[in-house]
Amino acid sequence: MKTPLAIAITATAISASSAFAQEPKQGGIIDTIIQPEPPGLVLGMIQNAPTRTVAGNIYEGLLRYSTDLEPMPQLAESWEVSDDGRTWTFHLREDVSWHDGEPFTAEDVVFSADVFHRELNPSARAVLQHVESIEATDDHTVVFTLEKPFGPFLISFEAGTFTMVPKHIYEGTEFRDNEANNHPIGTGPFKFENWDRGTVIQLVKNEDYYEEDLPYLDGINWHIIPDGASRAVAYENGTVDVLPYGTVENFDIPRLTELDNTCVTEAGHEYFSPFAMLWMNNREGPTADKRFRQAVMYAMDREFARNVLWNGLGKVPLGAFGSNARFQNEELAPYDHDPERARELLDEMGYDGEEVRLLPLPYGETWTRWAEAVQQNLKEVGINVRTEATDVGGWNQRLGDWDYDLAFTYLYQYGDPALGISRTYLSSNIQKGSPWNNVEGYENEKVDELFNQAATAYPDEEREALYHEVQEILQEDVPVGWLLELGFPTIYRCDVKNLVTSGVGVNDGFKDAWLDR
Partner 1 sequence: MLYARLIASRLIKAVIVLFMIIIFNFFLIQMAPGDPAAILAGEAGATDAEFLRQLTERFGLDQPLHVQLWRYVSGVAMLDFGFSYRQQVPVLDLILARLPATLLLTGTAFVLSLVLGIVAGSLAAARVKKPSGSIIMALALVFYATPLFWVALMAVVLFSVYLDWLPAYGMYTVGAGLEGFAFALDVGKHLILPATTLALFFMAIYTRMTRASMLEAAQQDFVKTARAKGLKNSVIQRRHILRNALLPIITLAGLQAGQMVGGAILTETVFAWPGIGRLMFEALQQRDYNLLLGIFFFSAALVIVFNIITDLVYRLADPRIKEAS
Only one of the segments 144-152, 197-205, 311-319, 377-385 lies at the binding site for partner 1 (rule: CB under 8 A); that segment is 197-205
Give the Cα-Cα-Cα angle 409, 411, 415 (nearest 5 degrees): 165
Hey, which residues between 300 and 339 contact partner 1 (CB under 8 A)? none
Among 1, 8, 12, 9, smallest CA distance to 307 is for 1
Query: Using the 8-state DSSP alphabet, how is residue 46 labeled?
Result: B
Exactly one of 67, 97, 145, 239 binds partner 1 (CB under 8 A); that residue is 239
**Of positions 23, 260, 340, 391, contacts partner 1 by CB under 8 A:** 391
* Interface positions, 162-191, toward partner 1 (CB under 8 A): 176-177, 181-182
Q: Which of 200, 214, 256, 473 binds partner 1 (CB under 8 A)?
A: 200
Identity of the residue, 347 or 401, whose beta carbon is nearer to partner 1 in the bound complex: 401
CA distance 301 to 310: 13
In whole angstroms, what is the distance from residue 405 CA to residue 399 CA?
A: 10
Tell which positions 1-60 bind partner 1, by CB under 8 A. 29, 31, 36-37, 39-40, 46-49
CB of 408: closest distance to partner 1 in angstroms? Answer: 14
**What's the gap between Cα 130 and its chain centre?**
22
State which of residues 101, 172, 198, 353 lies at the interface with partner 1 (CB under 8 A).
198
By CB under 8 A, tell whether 437 contacts partner 1.
yes
- Burial, 126: exposed, middle or buried (Cβ in 10 Å; 0-12, 13-18, 19+)? middle
Cβ atoms of 267 and 500 within 8 Å: the answer is yes
Taking the complex as a whole, the smallest distance from the CB of residue 118 to partner 1 amounts, in Å, to 10
Q: Which one among 173, 323, 397, 428 touches partner 1, defined by CB under 8 A?
A: 397
> Would you say 248 and 228 are in contact if contact means Cβ atoms under 8 Å apart?
yes
Least Å distance, CB 75 to partner 1, is 23
Nearer to partner 1, 223 or 337 (CB): 223
User: What is the nearest approach in angstroms of partner 1 to the Cβ of residue 277?
Assistant: 14
Minimum Å gap between C-beta 162 and partner 1 is 13
Q: Is 210 in the site for partner 1 (CB under 8 A)?
A: no
Does 202 bind partner 1 (CB under 8 A)? Our answer is: yes
Report, in Å, the least distance between residue 393 CB and partner 1: 3
Pairing between strand 219-223 and 29-33? parallel
Angle formed by the axes of helices 290-299 and 460-477, to 10°? 90
What span, in angstroms and rounded, lies between the C-alpha atoms of 411 and 421? Answer: 9
DSSP codes, 89-146: EEEEPSS-B-TTSPBP-HHHHHIIIIIIIHHH-HHHHHHHTTEEEEEEEETTEEEEEE
Residue whose CB is less far from partner 1, 235 or 514: 235
Using rule CB under 8 A, residue 260 touches partner 1: no
Residue 230 sits in the site that holds partner 1 (CB under 8 A) = yes
Of the two residues 46 and 300, which places its CB atom closer to partner 1 in the complex?
A: 46
User: How many Cα atoms within 13 Å fall on the side-chain side of residue 470?
Assistant: 30
- C-beta of 394: minimal distance to partner 1 in Å? 5
- CB-CB neighbours of 326 under 10 Å: 19
225 lines the binding site for partner 1 (CB under 8 A): yes
Task: Please name every residue paired with 485 in a beta bridge, in sequence order, or none if there are none.
Answer: 275, 315
Closest approach, Cβ 357 to partner 1, in A, equals: 15
Question: In this chain, which of 234, 243, 478, 480 binds partner 1, going by CB under 8 A?
Answer: 234
Interface stretch with partner 1, choices 93-101, 235-243, 259-267, 339-347 (CB under 8 A): 235-243
Check if the beta carbon of residue 62 is closer than 8 Å to that of residue 73: no
Q: Name which of 33 and 109 has its Cβ closer to partner 1.
A: 33
- The minimum distance between CB 307 and partner 1, in angstroms, equals 28
251 binds partner 1 (CB under 8 A): no
Q: Measured from the CB of residue 225, what is the shortest distance to partner 1 in angstroms?
A: 4
CA distance 151 to 423: 15
Cβ neighbour number for residue 95 with a 10 Å cutoff: 12
Identify the residue among 66, 89, 262, 396 touching partner 1 (CB under 8 A): 396
Q: How many residues bind partner 1 (CB under 8 A)?
A: 51
Closest distance between partner 1 and the C-beta of residue 355, in Å?
A: 21
Which class for 7: exposed (0-12), middle (13-18), buried (19 or more C-beta within 10 A)? Answer: exposed
Q: Where are the alpha helices (DSSP H) in 177-258?
A: 228-236, 253-257
Contact call for residues 295 and 346 (beta carbons, < 8 A): yes
Distance in angstroms (rounded) separating the CA atoms of residues 485 and 472: 19
Q: How near is the Cβ of 415 to partner 1 at its closest, in Å?
A: 14
Sorted by sequence, the CB contacts under 8 Å of residue 202 that are 6+ apart come out as: 193, 194, 195, 219, 220, 221, 222
Cβ nearer to partner 1, comparing 384 with 397: 397
Q: Which is nearer to partner 1, 233 or 494 (CB)?
A: 233
* Rounded distance between C-alpha atoms, residue 345 and residue 160, angstroms: 44
Angstrom distance (rounded) from CA 395 to CA 402: 10
Ramachandran angles phi, psi of 182, nearest 5°: -80, -10
Residue type, 223: H
Site residues (CB under 8 A) for partner 1, limited to 267-306: none
Footprint of partner 1 on 110-129 (CB under 8 A):
122-123, 125-126
Q: Is 433 in the site for partner 1 (CB under 8 A)?
A: yes
List residues binding partner 1 (CB under 8 A): 29, 31, 36-37, 39-40, 46-49, 122-123, 125-126, 176-177, 181-182, 196-200, 202, 221, 223-227, 229-230, 233-234, 236-237, 239, 391-394, 396-397, 400, 412, 431, 433-437
